[in-house]
Amino acid sequence: MFIKKIILSVLGSSALISMGFAQSEQTLTTTQTVVDRPIIVTAVPAPKEVIDTPSGFINCFTIKEGWYQDVWLAEHRVCQYENSPSGVAWVEGYWACSKYNMDEKKCTTWDWKAARWEKTLSVY
């Protein structure tokens, strides 16, 4: 039990050591309104295109479906690269729901986001 408390204390202290850099604890207090949005239940359309993931990636992961700002994003894959002149991330094509009926939890407008290279790695 004592060991568990120490581990939880360390994890809860926000002391993070990553890639050889130490990050000190910072406290930021903000006030924001959180809107509980329902899960969109409309079936996602079939992909408009399927492009093979470029070779040479160091890591790939799946972004689960969910809300980002005011848009529902379908599940898609992102691969990370090092030393690629094209970019640091390859984002698989995916559908984004930009208009929806919240009462029925249905998407009314799906927008296709084509596969692309990104210069920075932003995951949402």
Under DSSP, is residue 115 helix (H, G, I), strand (E, B) or coil? Answer: coil
Number of helices (H), then strands (E), belonging to the chain: the values are 1, 10
Length, in residues, of the chain? 124
The pLDDT tens digits of the residues spanning 4-33 come to 333 333 233 333 323 333 333 444 444 444
pLDDT along the chain (124 residues), means of 10: 32 32 41 70 96 96 94 97 94 97 96 96 67
d(CA 47, CA 7): 44
Rounded distance, CA 117 to CA 97, Å?
21
What are the extents of the domains in the chain? 37-118
User: What's the predicted TM-score (pTM) here?
Assistant: 0.68
* CA 71 from centroid of its chain's CA atoms: 13
Q: Is 94 exposed, middle or buried (0-12, 13-18, 19+ CB in 10 A)?
A: buried
Which residues make beta-bridge pairs with 95? 112
